[in-house]
Structure 1
């Protein structure tokens, strides 16, 4: 009997011990979840524990970059390079900050630094192409895009970048081929559908353009350019209320876009004129003369 009581006591102690371990781990998990509520706090916490790791500095820099805190992000990327001068991603990230500040030539220099370290890496080649596109040096951009595609022929982002550069050069058929290939490989790529919509719009194929812009919006509902372009098409078709709706939806996402603001103002002006003309000609329908009791 005493032995049984002793065994029960031991089991009770074991259960208490296990419960305390579970509680400790649950509390630790809660603390981690509280600290790691976003990438910025996660990597800031990691940095406090291991400031000598270059990847931690780079990851914190990325979190700061995504929060548009470019000055502090730059400090972290530079510290990454001090700890590891061959950290090619840090050079790429510094280049991205220069791009954000419209320092395109400085960005290209940083991308070239990354390419020297990793000559077969896609990102440096792609980023160099993008920078030359921004600079309007399309032939050089196309050279780099094609060079990157030699390494990864079925990369949808590269196909879209190359297609965009070809389109800017007026090589529409070649651009179309790249955009269509991109959506074959990645049917959920909103930008490729958007670009197909732009080309259809330029060819005055309104229904086709509406189809492609709508496809882009099904994938990415907060696509302000697609919304704005749909507004333009409906405006040209005389469907002013629909045009205004799309312009307003676009401005909810991108409130300071000057083209959309101008088009919205014009559409409202035309709608007012149209309503005034209809009122003068007696085209408005009267409400029912039978009202419910108050």
Structure 2
């Protein structure tokens, strides 16, 4: 019995190592795209160190790969050049916010507004930050000021909708998102946010419709694909759920939650293939489930649910041999 346990653990380790090698190579290839962008703008910054736009673009490239310290350096350089100072303050605020340094983010947005009180983007970002800090009324006030400056601004309407949704004021949130669609009927994010509200309300049919519209407009929308996959999984449309999770992971390959849900979907497929002696389709679905949970462990090594499911599936697989 002990020998079987050791063998199972060894096989689990081998499977995970193989997955690491395969997906590590895929991650390397994806990173080459961003590396090219960083290389491009680094070269421009070297050639034009006194211009703010190249530093701003290089900072944005670093931000895309979550290298926030490097992004900060470039935005600070853009600020020193004296060109695009307001955008530099807002970019610094955004970056500090992503790093969890909310006080510094607040300071940057305030500096932008001290110089230009009519900077509606700084107002919108400040409103979003205040909402994160639980200062909802102040957040709404900032967004309303932004909308007075720039009526119909889609970002302001979206943030306001999010504030209302988080407060549980779903009817007000729905109204804001529908305003966005009146202005921009092809706004995928507004469709997604409406889907999210109806999903939380348990109105599955409406949620499916809005998620589908978001995906129609943005076929690689990872959150919409993943959430629609969850609905399909709950309603027995397992094969469709699998495809949606896979599409979501093509865009967000490190999303451990979507990956875990894909593993569950493969398990459900295995169950659907029959309850009698294990057939080839069941074995394949179980193998894919194990591989998927292995990928979860690469991202979250201490995810006990994924580890337990791997052990359970490997025990079932061994017992069927």
TM-score with structure 1 setting the length: 0.74
Question: Retained in 2: the 8 A contact 1:240–1:271?
Answer: yes
**Deviation for aligned residue 1:151:** 1.3
Match of 1:251 in 2: 249
Question: Retained in 1: the 8 A contact 2:52–2:83?
Answer: no
Structure 1 pair 271–148 and aligned structure 2 pair: CA distance change class (3 A): same
Matched positions, count: 244
Please list, as runs of the form range in 1=range in 2, the aligned pairs for 1:189-228 lying within 5 A after superposition: 189-228=187-226
Match of 2:73 in 1: 75
One of 109, 120, 126 as aligned partner of 1:122 = 120
Match of 1:51 in 2: 49
Question: Retained in 2: the 8 A contact 1:156–1:183?
Answer: no
Structure 1 pair 49–127 and aligned structure 2 pair: CA distance change class (3 A): same
Cα displacement string for residues 258-281 of structure 1 (whole angstroms, at most 9, x for unaligned residues): 33233222222233223223889x
**Deviation for aligned residue 1:39:** 6.2
Distance 1:256 1:64 in 2: 18
Cα displacement string for residues 185-227 of structure 1 (whole angstroms, at most 9, x for unaligned residues): 0112111000111122223322221111111111111111111
Mean CA deviation greater in 211-220 or 235-244? 235-244
Mean CA deviation greater in 219-228 or 260-269? 260-269
Match of 1:95 in 2: 93
Structure 1 pair 156–275 and aligned structure 2 pair: CA distance change class (3 A): same
Match of 1:109 in 2: 107
Question: Retained in 1: the 8 A contact 2:59–2:71?
Answer: yes
**Deviation for aligned residue 1:42:** 5.7
Question: Retained in 1: the 8 A contact 2:245–2:258?
Answer: yes
Name which one, 1 or 2, has greater alpha-carbon Rg.
1
Match of 1:183 in 2: 181
Structure 1 pair 86–199 and aligned structure 2 pair: CA distance change class (3 A): closer
Question: Retained in 2: the 8 A contact 1:99–1:107?
Answer: yes
Structure 1 pair 203–54 and aligned structure 2 pair: CA distance change class (3 A): closer
Structure 1 pair 239–61 and aligned structure 2 pair: CA distance change class (3 A): closer
Gaps of 5+ in 1: 1-37, 281-294
Gaps of 5+ in 2: 1-35, 279-321
